[in-house]
Structure 1
Amino acid sequence: MTEILTTHAGSLPRSPELIAANAARPVGEDGLTPAPTDEFREVLRQAVVDVVAKQREIGISLPNDGEYGHLMGSAVNYGAWWSYIFDRVSGLELTGSDHFSSEPVRSAPGDVRLTTFPDRRDWTLFAEAYQDPTSGITVGSQPTFPAATGPIAFSETGRELIGQDITNVQAALDAAGYAHGFLNSLSPGSGSRINDDHYGDVDSFLDAWVEVMRPEYEAIAAAGLTVQVDDPSIAENWDQINPEPSVEDYLAFTRKRVDAVNRALVNVPTELTRFHLCWGSWHGPHTTDIEFRHLAPLLLEIDAKYYSFEAANVRHEHEWTVWQDVELPEDKIIVPGIVSHATNVVEHPELVAQRLERFARLVGPERVIGSTDCGLGGRIHSQIAWAKLESLVEGAKIASQRL
């Protein structure tokens, strides 16, 4: 029997103790969080031990630290996957202007530009629903993000913090009896979505983020851990371009971000690389998402062994058929989302099995790893999140037996 392995996209619900410890940390004048105290480090270390042990108890095959090293000071937080990097990069500061308060930006044929977050096409199309607190749409709190006001670089604090993440997860993996795990890291393209008040050129700013992220990728891989590059920008940027561009213009714009990932990963072994694509984890209509069929060939140009993507939420579940037409290279593995962060309904194990079987019959069960659409931490209640992972593991066992 070929066992279908299980994993998740990265973020897991934080413990109340860790949330409280994060919330209690002071914020400096630059808007960033200073180096952690010894007391905080101990809270974090124990939380990582516990979350890895919980994954082992449930039966998750390929675990991580739950992204616990990415600061999250509240139970609901959609942005920690991104905002964590700001404490690790020099050259950033709060300027009073960001993607939420800036003026909208308009694109033209051959000139694709990202507009502001409130000017997203999904948000404007459903403005009434987004502004209605009873609609069920949630996007999380919208803090002020820093801008680049000087040359940016991966800082000494960044090196200390990724070192802390590596030490914590390695100890937790050993304690739980795992042979291997992964850590999440931001993509250059996603990093470059903050405001640039220094470089003055989109491509130059993207190049700078390549140099920023490379040391974090290399540190993770050098420790023998898998690097998961989180890059919603590959798909999510489509919704943040106004008016809607042509697919050709968008793919040209996106190919630069794919190239940026590959340049940042140049010294990382392919077998130690996962890439995560999603359309944004906020709970909204998502009617303006770009179709996966346009992105799948581009996704395979990324120098990774594992490709993680949303495949369980109701906007994208039907797109499993893409793999009927797109040939997966023999040395690659897909990591489709089988349970979703976008609903509080816990997927039945039988549904999990059916979803896994669809992919396994197209590419082979040995080249499918069952996962989550996106991170569960900060998006759904912890009790529901762990129930979803339990269902994922149970469904993978059913599918493995059938196949």
Structure 2
Amino acid sequence: MLHSTDAIRTTHVGSLPRTDALLAANAELTEQGRTPAFDRLLADSVTDLVRRQVETGISQVGDGEYGHAMSHSVDYGAWWNYSFARLGGLEPSGLDRWADTSVRRSGPGNVVLTTFPDRRDRRAFAEAYSDPDSGILTGRRRALQPKVTGPLTYTGQQAVAADIANLQAAMAAAGADEGFIPSLSPGSCSRIANEYYATEEEFVYACADAMREEYRAILDAGLVLQIDDPSIAENWDMINPEPTVADYQAFTRVRIEALQSALRGLDTSRVRFHVCWGSWHGPHTTDIGFEHLVDLMLSVEVGGYSFEAGNVRHEHEWRVWQDRVLPDGAVILPGVVSHATNVVEHPRLVADRIVRFAGLVGKENVVASTDCGLGGRVHPQIAWAKLAALTAGAALASAELY
């Protein structure tokens, strides 16, 4: 992964706003799959998107997760839901991710993982969550998820090949030197109903074995692979009653070890690991502190670590880097603009955040990024304004640091 040797490099976490045409085309997809017309639209959309990223000043560009179908302009689940169409062994369940409370899974330390309606943050702010005018954007159309009823296999070879080809063609057209594609982690992949595997650990490792094929395809193409793993932090809020930190770390370590297994033998210098506390616009008062997760994150042997650092609930946690040593050759990709607010960060604030991290881990080891995906979380006009603020702030920081 390229380091910030001459100036602060910039990137984002993955999801970028879809065009109206692409959203409409997603809605028209049928069980027969993608048509040649859809494939042309998707390829052209990625080309336009990468060109715009380069023009905005983004160094490490992405395909915006355009190959991951989004149901609506506001969609918190596309980063995860896309995997349903790329895995064998699943069947429709009728379970609604946002409403159903019947899915329960146990893990080490008597940890029981529940579903969105039982989040502790949602319980603590029940009145606000139930008010459609509160600004807590959780309401969506029904989001049905499948269940696992047979051996998990990877069936998304054509889809990931299209993602790779589209990004590579777009990078060549725009002159981009580095590009990434996000892919789902085993821990996040396993957050669906399991009716086949005997144990939670067996299930998580089956997810790792299946998703490994997607990881390998992206890396073999010479691209950067982003492992999307909100579950590492977000699961904490989905456990009732609240576990001890030690029990939660044991629960999480299984997922970390499964990911390590999935990455065995691959070029992990081009892997970036993304951790966040979930994209919904809620109070987040029950988020676990980053100080309890950072060592687990750093135990994943990859080339880059992406995490929230601009979110007002977590910005203060830059302090964890005062007594941590970054693995040799690795970079951090802190979020210096956030998906969690419509306020566009001032470039000077962005620069200050970057300079602070540069002082902790070395300027060459900082790649300025976003907290999470902007697509489906903020309005497209605001999303692009945030990316412009990101690159403007990086330019200010570079003038100060180099």
Deviations along 1:101-120, one digit per CA (max 9) or x if unpaired, are 24374979821121122111
Q: Check if 1:21 corresponds to 2:25.
A: yes
RMSD of aligned residue pairs (Cα, Å): 1.5
C-alpha offsets along residues 280-300 of structure 1, whole Å, 9 cap, x if unaligned? Answer: 010000000000001111110
What is the CA–CA distance in structure 2 between the aligned matches of 1:106 and 1:217, rounded to whole Å? 26
8 Å CA contact 1:98, 1:147 repeated in 2: no
Identity %, equivalent residues: 57
Deviations 1:39-85 (A, max 9, x none): 10011010000000000110100001011000013111100000001
Give the deviation of 1:396 after TM superposition. Answer: 0.4
Q: Partners in 2 of 1:113 and 1:352 — Cα distance?
A: 39
Deviation at 1:140, TM superposition (A): 4.8
- Tell me which protein shows more strand as a share of its residues: 2
Within-5 A mapping of 1:263-278? 263-278=261-276
Q: Distance in 1 between matches of 2:86 and 2:176?
A: 28
Q: In structure 2, what is the equivalent of residue 44 of structure 1? A: 42
Match 1:365 to one of 359, 363, 366? 363
Distance in 2, Cα, partners of 1:402 & 1:102: 51
2:243 corresponding residue in structure 1: 245
Q: Scaled by the length of structure 2, what TM-score is found? A: 0.96
Q: 1:94 aligns with which of 79, 92, 95?
A: 92
Q: 1:182 touches 1:225 (CA, 8 Å); kept in 2?
A: yes
Residues 168/140 of structure 1: CA separation in 2 closer, same or farther (3 Å cut): farther
| 1:244 aligned counterpart, secondary structure | coil
- Confirm or deny: 8 A CA contact 1:109 1:246 kept in the other structure: no
Give the counterpart of 2:283 among 282, 285, 289.
Answer: 285
Asked if 1:303 is matched to 2:307, the reply is: no
- Alignment-derived partner of residue 113 in structure 1: 112
Contact 1:107/1:241 (8 A) holds in 2: no
Aligned letter for 2:130? Q
1:272, distance to aligned residue in structure 2 (A): 1.0
Question: Of 373, 383, 400, which aligns to 1:375?
Answer: 373
- For 1:59 and 1:116, the matched residues in 2 are separated by 39
Length, aligned pairs only: 395
The alpha-carbon deviation at position 139 of structure 1 amounts to 2.1
Structure 1 gap ranges (5+) = 29-33
CA gap 1:106/1:55 in 2 versus in 1, 3 angstroms: closer
Relative to structure 1, is the Cα distance of residues 106 and 81 closer, same or farther in structure 2, using a 3 angstrom cutoff? closer
C-alpha change, 1:106 and 1:37, in structure 2 (3 Å) is closer
Extract unaligned runs of 5+ from structure 2: none
Distance 2:224 2:270 in 1: 4
Distance 2:230 2:26 in 1: 25
1:136 maps to 2:116 = no
User: Counterpart amino acid of 2:27?
Assistant: A
Structure 2 counterpart of 1:136, one-letter code: G
Instruction: Classify the secondary structure of the residue corresponding to 1:90.
Output: strand
CA contact (8 A) 2:108 2:251 kept: no
- Mark the CA change 1:189 to 1:109 in structure 2 (over 3 Å): closer, same or farther: closer
Return 196-205 or 347-356, whichever deviates more.
Answer: 196-205
> In structure 2, what is the Cα distance between the partners aligned to 1:113 and 1:230?
22
Counterparts of 1:164 and 1:254, CA distance in 2? 32
Deviation for aligned residue 1:149: 1.4
Normalization by structure 1: what TM-score? 0.95
